[in-house]
Amino acid sequence: MWKGVIEKYREYLPVTKKTPVITISEGNTPLVYSQSLSDITGCSVYLKYEGLNPTGSFKDRGMTMAISKACEDKAKTVICASTGNTSASASAYAAKANLTSVVLVPEGAVALGKLSQALIHGALVLQVEGNFDDAFNLVKEISDKYPITLVNSLNPYRIEGQKTGAFEISDALGTAPDFQVMPVGNAGNITAYWKGYKEYRDAGKIKSLPKMLGFQAEGAAPIVKGHVISKPQTIATAIRIGNPASWKKAEAARDESGGLIGAVSDDEILNAYKLLAQKDGVFVEPASAASVAGLLKLAKKDYFKETKEAKIVCILTGHGLKDPNRAIKTINKPKTIPAKIDRVLKEIGY
Ligand code: F0G
């Protein structure tokens, strides 16, 4: 029986016998071979489908650690700022641990599925008149001054949990990939994966390290542009962040691995979003499609030409059902017809 990432990778994590393990059986997500992307790029492309975690995103890997350690430290309340997924995960794990959760989200900029999760799990949900960065500044200050535990990825236990994604990919492939492609928002996940790969190499589990390829949305690309973006804009609301907390660590992952952090437009994101759904049968939220958009952009520039038979893993960070409105906006609404067989057949083309 799968018992979650802490039990599976206990020896690599800062837990002891005394740590109460709060888990909803996160992790163990599939690594799906993509024929369509392999054909386009001439490489072997795999999709790490993190949308299949219990709350529908990769955040659960970090949250099982952050909430378990909060319990060990006798915390009563946890707080986070979020573009949606962190708040969904924090509220679910806090519910399981019987902790109070407070989540601050940017008003009007969180996908419906994510907001519904935080509400049903019983968090105190506050919509802030501002963007993610404003909400993040507030929760940092509050957790500094009050006995409330911050569970954003500034909390080092979040990074510890999230690094297990790198372990799972390495275990599944029997080696590290040559390239890992992923979206970058607050930059915790790229930091976590890089830490995970390095630790697995040091433990003798893998011999090489991947080049880390991160992608931000063009209207929210502070790392690419080299300065804070005060009013970030993108349809990929999960990564609508202008001043990432782990900025420097993301740059370190990029530079140490010999990779890059680039930008993709909303159109490129939406094309990748549709391609994944229509060629691979994998439904992701727009931010997750930024990784595949980045892959396609680099493939077009022959970026992978030098590396023969490269193994590439794209991290698909969140499930498409998080943001159903985007799918319906992207594809035409279904036609309504009378309940008559001839009308159905006519629509099919008979
Ligand atoms: N993809 C999804 C679906 C996300 O929700 C996030 C971040 C990212 C990618 C980027 O990961 O921040 O570690 O670089 N979501 C955060 C949140 C900010 O509040 O849910 P990152």
91 CB within 6 A, ligand 1:
no
Nearest CA to ligand 1 atom 19: 82
**64 CA to centre of ligand 1 in angstroms:** 16
Residue 27 pLDDT level (bands cut at 50, 70, 90) = very high
Q: Is the CB of 82 within 6 Å of ligand 1?
A: yes
Question: What is the mean predicted confidence (pLDDT) over 327-347?
Answer: 94
Residue nearest to atom 12 of ligand 1 (CA): 186
Mean pLDDT of the chain: 97
- pLDDT given at position 185: 98
Q: Dihedral of CA 197/202/203/209: which sign?
A: positive
Q: How high is the pLDDT of residue 332?
A: 84
Contact 68, 21 (CB under 8 A): yes
Q: How far lies 314's CA from each of 45, 190, 192, 224, 276, in Å?
A: 7, 12, 15, 19, 11
Residue the block writes with tokens 């059986």 = 25
| Predicted local distance difference test score (pLDDT) of residue 308 | 74
Is the distance from the beta carbon of residue 318 to the nearest atom of ligand 1 less than 6 Å? yes
**Can you tell me the distance from the alpha carbon of 260 to that of 262, in angstroms, rounded to the nearest whole number?**
6
Instruction: Establish whether residue 242 lines the binding site of ligand 1, counting it when its CB lies within 6 angstroms of any ligand atom.
Output: no
Radius of gyration of the chain (CA): 20
Pairing of strands 311-316, 44-49: parallel
More confident residue, 85 or 332: 85
Q: Is 285 in the pocket of ligand 1 (CB under 6 A)?
A: yes
Give the helix ranges, DSSP H, for 132-285: 132-145, 156-162, 164-173, 188-202, 222-225, 247-257, 266-279
* Nearest residue to 5 via CA among 50, 43, 60: 60
Residue 301: which residues within 8 A CB-CB, separation 6 or more? none
Question: Is 239 touching ligand 1 by the criterion CB < 6 Å?
Answer: yes
Alpha helices, DSSP H only, in 42-149?
59-72, 85-97, 112-120, 132-145
Ligand 1, atom 3, lies closest to the CA of: 318
| pTM across the whole model | 0.97
How far are the Cα atoms of 24, 134, 232, 252 from residue 222, in angstroms, in the given order?
34, 15, 9, 15
Q: What tokens were used for 105? A: 């989200």
Give the number of the atom of ligand 1 that is nearest the alpha carbon of residue 214.
14
Tell whether ligand 1 has an atom less than 6 A from the beta carbon of residue 53. no
Q: How many angstroms does the Cα of residue 211 sit away from the middle of ligand 1?
A: 20
pLDDT above 90 for 143: yes
Q: Quick: pLDDT tens for 271-312.
A: 999 999 999 999 999 999 999 999 999 999 999 988 878 999
pLDDT digits 0-9 by tens, 178-198 = 999 999 999 999 999 999 999
Contact 348, 335 (CB under 8 A): no
